[in-house]
Amino acid sequence: MSLQNVLIIGGGVGGTAILRLLLSVEFFHVQCVVDIDKQAPAIQIAKHHNIPTSTEWKSYLSNDLHIIFDLTGQHTVFEELLKERQAHTVLIPGSVANMLIRLLREKDQFIRNIGKESHKQELIFNSIEEGMVGIDAKGIVNFFNKSAERMTEILIGDAIGKPIYEVIPSSELPRIFDTGRTELNRELVLSNGSEIVTSRFPIIDEKGKRIGAFSVFKDITEIVNLAGEITNLKEIQTMLQAIIQSSDDAISVVDEEGKGLLINPAYTRITGLETDDIIGKPAATDISEGESMHLKVLQMRKPIRGVNMRVGPLKREVIVNVAPIIVNNRLKGSVGVIHDVTEIRSLMKELDRARSIIRTLESKYTFDDIIGHSNEMLISVEQAKLAAKTPVTVLLRGESGTGKELFAHAIHSSSDRKYNKFIRVNCAAIAEHLLESELFGYEEGAFTGAKRGGKRGLFEEANHGSIFLDEIGELSGSTQAMLLRVLQESEIVRVGGTKSITIDVRVIAATNINMEKAMLEGKFREDLYYRLNRMPIQIPPLRNHKQDIPAIADRLLVKLNQEYGRNVEGISEVAMQRLRVYSWPGNVRELENIISRGMIFMKAAESILDDQHLPFTMMTHQEPELNQPVQEILPLVEQIERMEKEILSATLKRSNGNKSKTAKQLSISLRTLYYKLEKYGLA
């Protein structure tokens, strides 16, 4: 477009406004500003811009003048200009010029308003929490707000004007521009590790043309963490609810106003009150006798423990513990735990009963505690194991100190009675006039000094269990007769009584005397002997299985170290040889005494029991050489078969030939019983 030459006549306000307008537009050329006042504002501005000025206008009416602005406001000047101008020159009067000026001012105001609105929008976009990023059609970032800067840790100045892939390499905005599709709520991890959820939109103008793309995103790192915390809280809540619901103690919870919030099944079981009876009701609803501890705790803000009261329609006696629930120093309610006194008393009775049983359940040893690998000891152990599997009466025979009581413990511990009582009685240690009453009990008034109501005997105490009668050869004739009745009829009669009491007791007897000699001398009943001798087990003296002394001594060292608080590691070879050649008249009991005495005389720094710690008297009691022939010992299998035959024969006789009953008593199948009867010729 060619330049338009302009002449301004009038340097006042109107002329100044037109001059400023024309100076701001490139295709207007002001040839001259005319005013009779050389100090007019427009004249001064023109001089500043090197525009010619004049006090007259006629000389400027040339052929190349395109526009004349008459801003004098004088009609005569306008008429004169209208006559003198060239035909192609446009004359604009002052009224039109003023209208143009007003429009220009309104335009400027409108632009300023737009600027203010743009500034407001910028403030709004920078104030919102969501990040915003925009690109143009070429993928250049043209919008980046403060929240985007905070989340991406990229400065706005470093983002605007840059390709989006340089700013956010993982951005999907170019794809959104290409496809024109909107994507909502997509998760994305930024390069700084922040997790965001973003929605992306194409930007389309009024003609439907895509001109860019825009994304709005929110940092969800804290939300994800919060969700994890909520999940943990829910898990804890579920776990606490499971604990409360499964607790055997009754639990009730009230709010700060004392109204029921929660109870568990144990609460319903103890009080007889259901959920509808408690939830939302006052805390005193369940009280039958006493005052509500919940209300008291809410007033005091302190726990109360061990309060006796009665609750529910059944007036159940309970003990209550209540504590306040305080969160952030604010009282939120209270929780109470109710213990049923009836159950506690029942448990106390059970505990007393258990303690009573423990005092008599003194079966301390098993077959693992019997040390010995000699043929004699192995035979005795195998016989005892066979005896343990049947209810047959056992007679343990052997010298004093050979371990008869140890065998009795092991037989009981391996039998089906092992969870019932095991009572030990030393028949020689109880006075003759007391033994009967101790074994069989007595009725009230049976003798002077008898307890009121009478007393249960040891056989009654051992019912369904085992009784070990040690030194049974010392029993008097009358006691032997009563014992025979027990073995034959499985019943007793208390001293001074007439009523028979049925019992189920397994008898294990032991003696160190020659029972056959005592029977011939009339000191022991023959019929009782045969009752007791159904399953005899001979326990060999220590001198007959000296090869077991090292193993027995090691076991005794462990026991005595615990008792004496010592740490003796072993026995020297010289001392062990002394132990091997000794005759051991006191058997294993004497061996324990000698090792015990030797440990006592050992110095604190010594850890090996040596020959010097053994008594010199052992030298005079060495084992003499035996010139008499040694009795032949049968193979173990043959001896076991003999014993098995005796057991089968005795049990079959006791069952009066009833094979089904015999098989049941021996805990074997009927088919196995027929096989063994045929094998041993007992069919």
Cβ contacts of residue 296 below 8 Å, gap of 6+?
304, 322
CA angle 537, 543, 548 (to 5 degrees): 80
Q: Which two tokens stand for residue 253?
A: 């919870």
pLDDT surpassing 70 at residue 104: no
Cβ contacts of residue 486 below 8 Å, gap of 6+?
459, 492, 503, 505, 507
Q: What is the pLDDT of residue 122?
A: 59
Q: How many whole angstroms separate alpha carbon 104 and alpha carbon 20?
A: 11
Q: How many whole angstroms separate alpha carbon 69 and alpha carbon 83?
A: 15
Weakest-pLDDT range from 127-141, 192-206, 618-632:
618-632
Q: How many whole angstroms separate alpha carbon 315 and alpha carbon 286?
A: 9
Q: What is the pLDDT of residue 348?
A: 67
Model confidence band, residue 140 (pLDDT cutoffs 50, 70, 90): very high
Q: How many whole angstroms separate alpha carbon 226 and alpha carbon 231?
A: 9
Look up residue 485 and give its amino acid.
R
Residue 40 exposed, middle or buried by CB count within 10 Å (0-12, 13-18, 19+): buried
What sign for the dihedral angle of Cα 301, 303, 306, 310? positive
The stretch 614-619 carries a mean pLDDT of 73
Model confidence band, residue 135 (pLDDT cutoffs 50, 70, 90): very high
pLDDT surpassing 90 at residue 407: yes
The stretch 95-116 carries a mean pLDDT of 64
Model confidence band, residue 626 (pLDDT cutoffs 50, 70, 90): very low
Mean pLDDT, the chain, whole residue set: 83
Weakest-pLDDT range from 250-264, 313-327, 341-355:
341-355
Task: Read off the pLDDT of residues 378-388 as tens digits, 9 standing for 90 and up.
Answer: 999 999 999 99
Three-state DSSP at 610 gives coil
pLDDT surpassing 50 at residue 547: yes
Task: Read off the pLDDT of residues 60-90 as tens digits, 9 standing for 90 and up.
Answer: 888 788 888 888 888 888 888 888 888 888 8
Q: How many whole angstroms separate alpha carbon 476 and alpha carbon 494?
A: 17
pLDDT surpassing 50 at residue 534: yes
Task: Read off the pLDDT of residues 295-329 as tens digits, 9 standing for 90 and up.
Answer: 989 988 899 988 888 888 888 888 889 999 888 88
Weakest-pLDDT range from 83-97, 149-163, 446-460:
446-460
Enumerate the β-bridge partners of residue 251: 337
Task: Read off the pLDDT of residues 166-222 as tens digits, 9 standing for 90 and up.
Answer: 888 888 889 989 988 888 888 877 777 778 888 888 988 878 888 999 888 887 776
Q: Are 76 and 17 in contact (CB under 8 A)?
A: no
Model confidence band, residue 130 (pLDDT cutoffs 50, 70, 90): confident
Task: Read off the pLDDT of residues 3-19 as tens digits, 9 standing for 90 and up.
Answer: 788 899 988 888 888 88
Look up residue 31 and give its amino acid.
Q
Q: How many whole angstroms separate alpha carbon 575 and alpha carbon 577?
A: 5
Question: Between 636 and 517, where is the model more confident?
Answer: 517
Q: What share of the chain is helix, strand, coil (3-state, %, to 5)?
A: 45, 20, 30
Q: How many whole angstroms separate alpha carbon 532 and alpha carbon 515?
A: 11
Q: How many whole angstroms separate alpha carbon 535 and alpha carbon 612?
A: 44
Task: Read off the pLDDT of residues 222-236 as tens digits, 9 standing for 90 and up.
Answer: 666 666 665 565 666
Q: How many whole angstroms separate alpha carbon 363 and alpha carbon 466?
A: 10
Q: What is the pLDDT of residue 233?
A: 59
Q: What is the pLDDT of residue 108?
A: 62
Q: What is the pLDDT of residue 111?
A: 56
Task: Read off the pLDDT of residues 509-520 as tens digits, 9 standing for 90 and up.
Answer: 999 999 888 888
Q: What is the pLDDT of residue 223?
A: 66
Model confidence band, residue 628 (pLDDT cutoffs 50, 70, 90): very low
- Residue closest to 542 by CA, chosen among 584, 498, 488, 509: 584
Q: What is the pLDDT of residue 359?
A: 43
